[in-house]
C-alpha cells in the first residue's frame, strides 16, 4: 500500500471510520503478527502483542506524523511492544522452541518446519536490538534506510547490527546442523 493510500485511510480513521481502520488492519495484521512472533517465538504472545499494537495505533492516531511512512510507525510500535513484553514477562532468552506448522507435505513439512525452527531458535540467541534489524530486513523486507527510520538509528548502525547478527546466526545455524 502506498504512503498516500495509508495517509487517506488514517485521515478516515481519525474521523471515526471503522472500515478504514479495518482496511489498515487487513493490510498490516500479517506483518505485525509475524514481527511479534519472530521477536517472541510464541504464537499466543504474538497475538496479544498484535492486538495491543492495533489498539495503540487506534488510540494514538493523533500522534502519527504524516510526513513519515505509516509502516515505520506501526513496525516501531510492534518492536517496542515486543521488547516490552519480553521484559515484563521476564522471558529470558533463548525461549523454548515452538513447533511451526508450515502446511506442506509430510516430508517437505518436516524439512521446512525443522529449518524454520532452527532459524527461529538461532534468532532467539541474538540480542533483541540486533534481532529487530534481522526481522525488519529479512521478514518485513525493509531497506537500510527504512530500518534506520523505524528504529531511529543511523544507517551505519543498521549495517553494523545486521552484519553482527548475521554472523551470529550463521554460527548458530551451523551448530544446530
List residues binding other proteins (CB under 8 A).
14-16, 18-19, 21-22, 25-26, 29-30, 33-34, 37, 43, 46-47, 50-51, 54-55, 58, 100, 102-103, 112, 115-116, 119, 134, 137-139, 143-144, 159, 162-163, 166, 169-170, 173
Q: How far is the CB of 103 from other proteins (least distance, A)?
A: 8
Cα(165)–Cα(45) distance, integer angstroms? 23
Considering the complex, what minimum distance in angstroms separates the CB of residue 89 from other proteins? Answer: 19
Cβ proximity to other proteins, 50 vs 82, nearer residue:
50
User: Which three cell numbers, joined as nine digits, stand for 17?
Assistant: 471510520
Q: How far is the CB of 33 from other proteins (least distance, A)?
A: 4
CB closer to other proteins, 15 vs 96: 15
Closest CB 2 distance from other proteins, rounded Å: 21
Closest approach of other proteins to the CB of residue 16, in Å: 4
Kindly tell me which of 143 and 175 has the beta carbon lying closer to other proteins: 143
Residues 6+ positions from 150 with CB-CB distance below 8 Å: 71, 72, 75, 76, 79, 136, 142
Toward other proteins, which CB reaches closer, 134 or 150? 134
Amino acid at each position: 500500500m502506498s504512503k498516500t493510500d495509508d495517509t487517506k485511510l488514517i485521515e478516515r480513521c481519525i474521523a471515526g471510520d471503522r472500515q478504514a481502520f479495518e482496511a489498515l488492519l487487513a493490510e498490516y495484521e500479517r506483518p505485525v503478527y509475524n514481527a511479534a512472533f519472530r521477536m517472541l517465538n510464541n504464537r499466543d504472545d504474538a497475538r496479544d502483542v498484535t492486538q495491543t499494537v492495533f489498539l495503540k495505533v487506534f488510540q494514538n492516531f493523533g500522534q502519527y506524523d504524516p510526513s513519515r511512512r505509516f509502516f515505520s510507525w506501526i513496525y516501531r510500535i510492534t518492536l517496542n511492544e515486543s521488547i516490552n513484553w519480553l521484559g515484563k514477562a521476564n522471558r529470558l532468552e533463548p525461549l523454548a522452541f515452538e513447533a511451526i506448522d508450515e502446511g506442506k507435505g509430510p516430508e517437505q513439512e518436516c524439512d521446512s518446519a525443522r529449518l524454520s525452527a532452527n532459524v527461529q531458535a538461532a534468532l532467539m540467541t541474538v540480542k533483541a536490538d540486533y534481532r529487530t534489524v534481522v526481522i525488519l530486513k529479512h521478514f518485513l523486507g525493509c531497506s537500510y534506510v527504512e530500518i534506520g527510520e523505524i528504529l531511529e538509528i543511523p544507517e551505519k548502525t543498521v549495517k553494523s547490527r545486521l552484519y553482527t547478527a548475521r554472523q551470529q546466526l550463521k554460527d548458530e545455524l551451523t551448530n544446530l546442523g
